[in-house]
């Protein structure tokens, strides 16, 4: 069944103020075809992406960029509006998710047959796993196939870990290649948290007080693969545009993207200055299918990201960070004065300064890839800095103004429930 949010053309102008939570946050995609394949809590709603495109009046003659792709929300929305688009993603796992979600799949019967065949083998193999204390012996015998994340037993209960290890062994040993395998991987990666001891009780993953009891992991996977089949079928007859997710850093957008076509609109949501770590949140997924080489590589990923406050990035912040130039220094001056008066916030001050230094580098790159009269929409949340509001939206607008993008308006869309005074806004800008 076609879902109106994903496929319908605009009916009337919409407001970007006082929006429902589901029209701003990830909650707006949990029931949508393809969008629902993987939950990323800090991602934003497909409805918001489409409303911005309608507000800008983007047509198939335009070209949309999302430089912070995440799970591919923007290119997927544009694909089924017939609008050419691309995105950039630094995190290898999220790049994989966006790539798989935005492909066009034509051989649905073959995909279904491949899934069914794998599930039959998985059920047979999982049924043979010894129960009770004997599962420890199974895990020892199959140690090379245990997900190579640090302390996997913290993430999954013994029997659930054994089932995932079995599934991982089957997939790594299969001789099949191509898009069918990627879809199967997407399904497996999509269930890692639901069958784990981690919970989505907060923006960041937390571990439950009690480990998750043994569940039917193959049954959970079968349901997920069934959703994937249904969703591919739902869009199979729809016309669509070509979209692509590029692997790279948005701070190097001009070298990551092809030289043409020039971008006519940017619709995106950069990391907020709230110390959320995409690298930390996706560790199980990065390691499960060897999308990253080591813990050190995860630390480097965090260091390369906008802001960066976890792992190796912490050592960078400990050394101190100064505003990169006069533009950032002027915009940050009132807030650095607050930090200096406090006297105890060396690390947090360095983080905030690095965050806006990185945004400056990013904005400079966006200036290089956008055409004349390009439209920009940046969805961003503010934060608290030593008890005082840090207006990330206004500072972002000030940075982009330096590169020739005029502020058209800041629309405060909703109040966030985590702390008083926090909100999410969409910053609308245009190139002069």
Question: Could you read off the pLDDT of 273-310 as tens digits, one per residue?
Answer: 887 888 888 999 999 999 999 888 988 898 898 987 76
Cis, peptide link before residue 386, omega less than 30° from 0: no
245 in the same domain as 225: no
Mean pLDDT of 143-169: 96
294 in the same domain as 228: no
288 in the same domain as 275: yes
Residue 305, domain extent: 4-104+240-431
Domain boundary among 235, 263, 285: 235
| Distance between CA atoms of residues 254 and 268, nearest Å | 16
398 in the same domain as 276: yes
DSSP annotation string for 277-335: -HHHHTHHHHHHTTSS--HHHHHHHHHHSSS--STHHHHHHHT----SSHHHHHHHHHH
397 in the same domain as 271: yes
202 in the same domain as 100: no
Domain count, the chain: 2
Within 10 A of 164 (CB to CB), how many other CB atoms are there?
Answer: 26
Task: Tell me the CA end-to-end span of the chain in Å, nearest whole number.
Answer: 42
Q: Is the pLDDT of residue 5 over 50?
A: no
pLDDT of residue 1: 40
Model confidence pLDDT, tens digit, residues 16-39: 998 998 899 888 999 999 999 999
Model confidence pLDDT, tens digit, residues 379-424: 999 888 777 788 999 999 999 999 999 999 999 998 886 667 789 9
What pTM was computed for the model? 0.93
Domain boundary among 235, 267, 285: 235
266 in the same domain as 179: no
Domain boundary among 235, 253, 286: 235
pLDDT of residue 422: 87
Give strand pairing partners of 263. Answer: 370
pLDDT of residue 2: 46
CATH of the domain at 77: 3.40.50.150
112 in the same domain as 99: no
Cα atoms in the 13 Å half-sphere on the side-chain side of 331: 26
């Amino acid at each position: 069944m076609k879902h109106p949010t994903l496929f319908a053309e605009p009916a009337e102008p919409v407001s970007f103020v006082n929006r429902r939570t589901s029209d701003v946050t990830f909650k707006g995609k949990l029931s949508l075809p393809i969008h629902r394949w993987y939950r990323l809590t800090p991602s934003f709603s497909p409805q918001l992406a489409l409303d911005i495109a309608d507000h800008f009046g983007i047509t198939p003659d335009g070209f949309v960029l999302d430089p912070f792709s995440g799970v591919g929300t923007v290119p997927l929305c544009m694909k089924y509006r017939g609008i050419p688009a691309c995105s950039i993603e630094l995190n290898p796992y999220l790049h994989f998710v966006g790539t798989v979600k935005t492909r066009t799949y034509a051989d649905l019967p073959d995909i279904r047959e491949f899934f069914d065949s794998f599930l039959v083998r998985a059920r047979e193999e999982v049924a043979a796993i010894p129960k009770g204390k004997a599962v420890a012996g199974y895990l020892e015998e199959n140690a090379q196939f245990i997900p190579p994340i640090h302390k996997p037993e913290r993430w999954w209960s013994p029997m659930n870990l054994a089932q995932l290890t079995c599934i991982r062994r089957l997939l790594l040993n299969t001789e099949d290649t191509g898009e069918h395998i990627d879809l199967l991987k997407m399904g497996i990666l999509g269930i890692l948290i639901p069958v784990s001891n981690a919970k989505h009780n907060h923006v960041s993953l937390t571990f439950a007080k009690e480990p998750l009891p043994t569940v039917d992991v193959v049954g959970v996977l079968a349901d997920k693969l069934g959703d994937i089949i249904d969703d591919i079928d739902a869009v199979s007859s729809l016309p669509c545009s070509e979209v692509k997710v590029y692997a790279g850093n948005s701070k190097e957008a001009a070298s990551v993207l092809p030289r043409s076509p020039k971008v006519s609109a940017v619709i995106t949501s950069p990391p907020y200055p709230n110390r959320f770590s995409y690298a930390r949140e996706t560790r199980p997924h990065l390691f499960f299918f060897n999308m990253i080489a080591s813990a050190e590589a995860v630390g480097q990923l965090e260091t390369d990201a906008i802001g960066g406050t976890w792992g190796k990035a912490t050592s960078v912040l400990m050394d101190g960070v100064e505003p990169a130039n006069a533009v950032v220094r002027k915009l940050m001056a009132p807030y650095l004065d607050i930090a200096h008066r406090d006297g105890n916030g060396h690390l947090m001050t360095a983080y905030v300064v690095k965050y806006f230094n990185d945004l400056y580098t990013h904005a400079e790159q966006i200036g290089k890839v956008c055409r004349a009269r390009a439209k920009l929409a940046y969805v961003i949340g503010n934060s608290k800095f030593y008890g005082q509001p840090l207006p990330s939206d206004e500072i972002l607008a000030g940075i982009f103004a330096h590169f020739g993008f005029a502020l058209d308006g800041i629309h405060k869309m909703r109040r966030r429930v985590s702390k008083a005074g926090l909100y999410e806004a969409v910053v609308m800008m245009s190139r002069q």
